[in-house]
Amino acid sequence: MKHLSLTLMLIFSLVLFAGCSDNETVAPEPPETTRDSAPASIPEAQVETQSMAPLTEAEFQKFIKDIPEITRLTNPTINAEGPKDPEVLSAKIAEVTTSLGWDQQRFLYVYGQAMTVMNYEQMVLMKRQMDEQIQGLTEEEQKMVEEMMAQQPQGQLEAVKQQVDRQVSPAEQQIIRDNLTALEEALGLR
């Protein structure tokens, strides 16, 4: 029964991550242009996203080095005396990232790309762990888990993968995956 509880928790987590991913912002597709034409009117948010150059290895290494400072500001168990008001906290984060040499937009871009890939990789790991746990269940427990899984929308992981691929370039994904352990350590997840 212990295995069943763990499996059910993993299923819940997988569904939770998949549900959360629906709220993620997807980088917009660039407007179609020809040599002789300029793009049609582009919303301001779309212009900002398009102006972001892909992250580089050196930039991501700086991000990994700097992110613990931000994490320390936002972690209430570490910094109980820190700012509680979201506006004050946002201002403090902006101040710290600027003092570390980051442009605010760029920091948020790198952070968003990193979290998108990291969250997907955690979903893949949970799915793999869930599959391993299912193999260790009794036939009756496996049937119960299969019935629960049948109630979930199929292809959630693949849909999230497609979303990640739309938002994060293959080169950026590779940089993030190559440094995933260091990123998780910097965020205090390992």
Cβ(129)–Cβ(13) below 8 Å: no
At 188, is the pLDDT very low, low, confident or very high (cuts 50, 70, 90)?
A: confident
- Record the tokens describing residue 94, joined without a space: 């902006």
Q: Could you give the C-alpha distances from 187 to 60, 72, 78, 152, 183, in angstroms and in order?
A: 14, 9, 13, 31, 6
Tell me the C-alpha distance between 118 and 115, whole Å. 5
Helices 86-99/57-74 angle, 10° precision: 140
Tell me the C-alpha distance between 96 and 73, whole Å. 9
pLDDT in tens, 54-73: 999 999 999 999 999 888 87
Model pTM? 0.64
State the number of CA atoms in the 13 A half-sphere of 108 facing the CB. Answer: 9
pLDDT in tens, 89-118: 788 888 989 999 999 899 999 999 999 999
Tell me the C-alpha distance between 157 and 19, whole Å. 10
The pLDDT, as a whole number, for residue 167 is 93
Task: Flag the least confident range among 29-33, 51-55, 137-141.
Answer: 29-33
Cβ(116)–Cβ(24) below 8 Å: yes
